[in-house]
Structure 1
Amino acid sequence: MRLVIAECQVDYVGRLTAHLPMARRLLLIKNDGSVSVHADDRAYKPLNWMSPPCWLVEHPAPAESDASALWVVTNKAGEELRILLGQIHHDSVHELGVDPGLIKDGVEAHLQELLAEHVGTLGPGYTLIRREYMTAIGPVDLLCRDAAGRTVAVEIKRRGEIDGVEQLTRYLELLNRDTTLAPVAGVYAAQLIKPQARTLAEDRGIRCLVLDYDALRGTESTEFRLF
């Protein structure tokens, strides 16, 4: 991973346009090719980013600017993240090694097991291909086929938040490059899905599914019901 702290201006050029004026920010360049731009707030969420597959090319800065370099990050759709670098305060490269992956809590792991056993919860005609389907960037919780025979990747969370949508998006981008699986659709399944996460998922064509843990376990909910 490469960490750069620099004065920078960032412009996204694609289906939409976005502009970040010159300011000091953190730039993360990961080994998977992704590039993200961070401020000193907003927790984990970057100000702007480009997900893999994408390619970073460093160019000399335009002659009319006082910048030190221009980074152009391009994805397979031809969209660009253009980063104009001013003063660089820090630039380092670190080898993180292979990450062991997220260890799920008991409820989340049990949800995955139960949903694999009752895969029809996803919809009529669904069948399970494999649990913990391994990819180059980590395991997909469930890989399934729908009634039409199309491949579906399922990400399971106890609480569905934006980071889970981003995780599933990365899996889908990678899986859809495999011609034996593509096209691969996505399902984001959780006991509770935050409104912002649902909006982002649906905007990316990912179906959201709220899971009833008690129903999957074959027990009645303890909450009051009208009927």
Structure 2
Amino acid sequence: MMKIEHTDLSFEVYKRLKTMILANEFQPGEKLVQEQIAALFGVSRMPLHKAFQMLENEMLVENLPRRGFYVTEIDNAKLLDAFECREALEGIAARRTARIISERELEDLRALFKPFVGKKKIDFKKYIEADQAFHNAVLQISGNQILQKFEVVKNITSQTYRGGLIRKPEETLPEHLAIIEAIANRDAALAEKLMREHSVKTQELIRDKIRKE
């Protein structure tokens, strides 16, 4: 059922594995057994190895000499650092996006969260995908060439999803919708403010965890 048929197999494997890692289907520190994953997706080891390299570039997996690939472990201190970076970078992106977004791009943003509005039970994995797609889209739509090409930005975004979602979808969904509406109203200042607050609330939870450690 999970077998992949696509011309760019390595990219498809990369996307599937990334989603699984971010949804905690592979635990931090867990070894990725190439033979098992190749059989799961119905691919050879060549595209799988390329997919591992892409994940390694995003700091989601690490290649330990003579031991193989493992899901990267990340502690709360590093996670906090990543969210602080996201606060600044995505705040800039939201401000720029509000100024230049097209109607088609706006509809695409709204469509990401439409399946979850009014639902009592939200599919956790699908929400993670929508959440990440939203933040990546804002960076892309912003038109800032540095943000779009600066590879560390993508890495930072990936790192903050490592433990899944720190806050529940029921809490963050209204925040995402409010950011989209600020963007729709071309209110650049409000879009930046709401995007930063969205990150800060998560940072506060992480700081609480650090203090309790």
The two structures have a TM-score, normalised by structure 1, of 0.26
Greater C-alpha radius of gyration: 1
Name the one with the larger strand percent: 1
Kindly indicate which of the two structures has a greater share of residues assigned to helix. Answer: 2
Which one scores higher on RCO, CA 8 angstroms, separation ≥ 6? 2
TM-score w.r.t. the length of structure 2 is 0.28
